[in-house]
Amino acid sequence: MSIKIIKGGLQTTIQDLGRQQYREFGIAGNGALDEYSHQIANWLVGNPKNKPTIEVTQIGPTLEFTEEATIAVAGAEFELSHNDQPCLMNTSLHMKQGDYLSFGKLQSGARAYVAISGDIKVEPVMDSASTNLMAGFGGHQGRALQDGDVLDIEPRQFDKTRSTPSELMKELHHNLQQQHIVVRFTEGREFARLSKPSQKAIHENNFSVSSYSNRMALKLEGEALRLTEEISMTTVPIVSGTIQLPHGGNPIVTLADGQTAGGYPRIGQVITADLSLLAQLKAGDSLSFYPVTTEYALSILKKKNRYIASMLTES
């Protein structure tokens, strides 16, 4: 079967859980920015969590299905239509030959994930189907989906109808409704080089998300942070969630498509458990940072992964 892309949307790409094992060669991890919504969408159609999904950003696509398929949409809250009739997110949707799925108004969040029972047939690059927009490989021809594209699908029958568990749904809805979020971070290698007022400001001030943000990084705007003295930096490793401080004093937070090395002071690291919150921010939203220890960050990640696994059980 196949899916025809009637409208491509703003930036619609194919993503799985990424290719982290190639960072030493300068290859970004890529993958779904909101890994938890990606996992939920796959669970709703009976897929393993690493199967590719279609990541939708702010303005969604219109998709036409050439055969029967079970699909689901999770993540940012959109008005959604099945053949011009309103339909629900966070539940299995059974499409027939010739059916359309259309994304309407974005209500909250920034990114949603469309899963199809089976497999989106794209050639893996470095063990991943994820699209690397900067390098132009992976996904569908290494780019965002465009009007008229056709995706080949290897379907798998899934006749059940699942819905996101209510307890998990409440948490997701609460997070998406917030135009201001607090993300937890650990101190970076150069945190001590911040001035004392800036060390305090990083977790007391609110930062606004710049319109120049993308899958590479969140660019933040607010009261400038200052160093005690200029630091001559060589190229140093960075990962998703690294908070860097450019010369202007406004932080940037690396995301999944970000470079693997940078030359700015690393003043913090957003904890892995909170990275999915960053994926749902858009221009004009705001965030602040809350300091935690590395030990706490690890314990929270283990707890969150156990929680998600317990919610997404077979049924």
| Per-residue model confidence (pLDDT) at position 170 | 87
Q: What is the mean pLDDT of the chain?
A: 94
Residue for token pair 């799925």: 101
- Residues 190 and 277 placed together within one structural domain of the fold: yes
Please identify, among 127, 155, 176, the residue that sits at the C-terminal boundary of a domain: 176
Confidence of residue 315 (pLDDT cuts 50, 70, 90): low
Query: What is this structure's pTM?
Result: 0.96
| Per-residue model confidence (pLDDT) at position 175 | 84
User: Beta-carbon neighbour count of residue 119 at 10 Å?
Assistant: 16
- Residues 14 and 90 placed together within one structural domain of the fold: yes
Please identify, among 176, 208, 236, the residue that sits at the C-terminal boundary of a domain: 176
- Residues 42 and 138 placed together within one structural domain of the fold: yes
- Residues 141 and 230 placed together within one structural domain of the fold: no
Please identify, among 176, 202, 224, the residue that sits at the C-terminal boundary of a domain: 176
Containing domain of residue 56, as a range? 2-176
Query: Residue 132 corresponds to which tokens in the numbers above?
Result: 């690397």
Residue for token pair 């996101």: 164
93 phi, psi to nearest 5 deg: -120, 130
- Residues 142 and 214 placed together within one structural domain of the fold: no
pLDDT tens digits, 92-118: 999 999 999 999 999 999 999 999 999
Q: What's the average model confidence in pLDDT over 281-299?
A: 96
- Residues 151 and 296 placed together within one structural domain of the fold: no
- Residues 185 and 170 placed together within one structural domain of the fold: no
pLDDT tens digits, 141-167: 999 999 999 999 998 999 899 999 999
Percent of the chain with pLDDT over 90: 87
| Per-residue model confidence (pLDDT) at position 17 | 97
pLDDT tens digits, 11-43: 999 999 999 899 989 999 999 999 999 999 999
- Residues 295 and 185 placed together within one structural domain of the fold: yes
The Cα–Cα gap between 287 and 273 comes to 16
CA atoms within 13 A of residue 261's CA, in its CB half-sphere:
10
Q: What is the 3-state secondary structure (H, E, C) of the chain?
A: CEEEEEECCCCCEEECCCCHHHHHHCCCCCCCCCHHHHHHHHHHCCCCCCCCEEEEECCCCEEEECCCEEEEEEEEEEEEEECCEEECCCECEEECCCCEEEEEEEEEEEEEEEEECEEECCCCECCECCCECCCCECCECCECCCCCCEEEEEECCCCCCCECCHHHHHHHHHHHHCCEEEEEEEECCCHHHECHHHHHHCCCCCEEECCCCCCCEEEEECCCCCECCCCCCCCEECCCCEEECCCCCCCEEECCCCCCEECCCEEEEECHHHHHHHHCCCCCCEEEEEECCHHHHHHHHHHHHHHHHHHCCCC
Contacts of 21 (CB under 8 A, 6+ apart): 126, 127
- Residues 278 and 262 placed together within one structural domain of the fold: yes
What CATH number is attached to the domain comprising 192?
2.40.100.10
pLDDT tens digits, 123-144: 999 999 999 999 999 999 999 9
- Residues 163 and 232 placed together within one structural domain of the fold: no
